[in-house]
Structure 1
Amino acid sequence: MLKEEQEVAALGAPHNATPPTSTMIHIRSETSEPDRVVWSLFNTLFMNSCCLGFIAFAYSVKSRDRKMVGDLTGARAYASSAKCLNVWALVSGIVMTILLIIIPVLVLQAYQ
């Protein structure tokens, strides 16, 4: 017998015969849709025609709450509604701003 075999025979079998185990941690990738809170806040403060910005902000907050709970389907639905409302609020705000500039200019030109 070799010297190492004699030492193993004298010491006996290893006390912990189970193979080492590993732990797997699954990190969920952030593939969910953004909640658009910042855009909604901008529209609420500056482009709040017909309260669309405020309603979009409410939907954005609901989307963020759903995302925190883990309901990604509900979060996507609320985020989609917030996006649609934000687009409408932005477009209507820009159109109203342009009209508020053009109409007075046209009226002043008509009186000259």
Structure 2
Amino acid sequence: MDNHSYNFPSDCTPLTNSKSARKPAGATVVNMGSCGKNPPRDYLLWSLCNTFYVNFCCLGFMALIYSIKARDQKTLGNLQLAQECSDKAKWYNILAAGWNLLIPLLAIFLLVLLLVHLSSLRGSFDFLGEDGFQNFMNLFSW
């Protein structure tokens, strides 16, 4: 079938060798969905940090699981489920970060409280004086 006997639709241009038959290309518009709403965040980096640091009761690991689920659902285009997983990942990250900060602060507080209590005792328990380390080590010698 030659080009002369074939009828082309109005929106198609046949490939020809002549430059006069070519039409200039117009602008291409790609619709990416709704512009008004931002896609949900996945908190993946925060989840990784919480997973590798302390990770009390596996809260950081749970946050990492929901972060990956949120990223997968966002990639698939299911923004509602991605938002739900993102919210869960955020709350698990908040809980994990709270525990990650609370445990070292609690340990420091108990150590300071122990040193203050032991330094207030009379006798050879002066841990903050000149022979403080030696007096502390004397507690463990029998």
The TM-score normalised by the length of structure 1 is 0.75
Q: Residue type of the partner of 2:85?
A: Y
- Bigger RCO of structures 1 and 2 (CA < 8 A, at least 6 apart): 1
Q: Residue type of the partner of 2:94?
A: V
Equivalent residue number for residue 68 of structure 2: 61
46, 65, 82: which one aligns with 1:39: 46
Q: Residue type of the partner of 1:107?
A: L
Equivalent residue number for residue 85 of structure 1: 92
Q: Which runs of 5+ in 1 are unaligned?
A: 1-15
The TM-score normalised by the length of structure 2 is 0.61
Contact 1:60 1:78 in 2 (8 A): yes
Matched length: 98
- 1:25 and 1:105, CA in 2 relative to 1: closer, same or farther beyond 3 A? same
- 1:75 and 1:111, CA in 2 relative to 1: closer, same or farther beyond 3 A? same
Q: Which runs of 5+ in 2 are unaligned?
A: 1-7, 13-25, 120-142
Query: What is the rounded CA distance, in whole Å, between the counterparts of 1:44 and 1:31 in structure 2?
Result: 27
SS at match of 1:33: coil
Large movers: runs of 4+ above 4 Å: 18-23
State which structure, 1 or 2, has the greater radius of gyration over its C-alpha atoms: 2
Equivalent residue number for residue 30 of structure 2: 25
Q: Which has the higher helix share?
A: 1
- 1:47 and 1:33, CA in 2 relative to 1: closer, same or farther beyond 3 A? farther
Percent of residue pairs identical: 33
Query: What is the rounded CA distance, in whole Å, between the counterparts of 1:19 and 1:104 in structure 2?
Result: 79
* Partner deviation per Cα, 1:18-65 (whole Å, 9 max, x = no partner): 479875321234711110000000111114111101110011011111
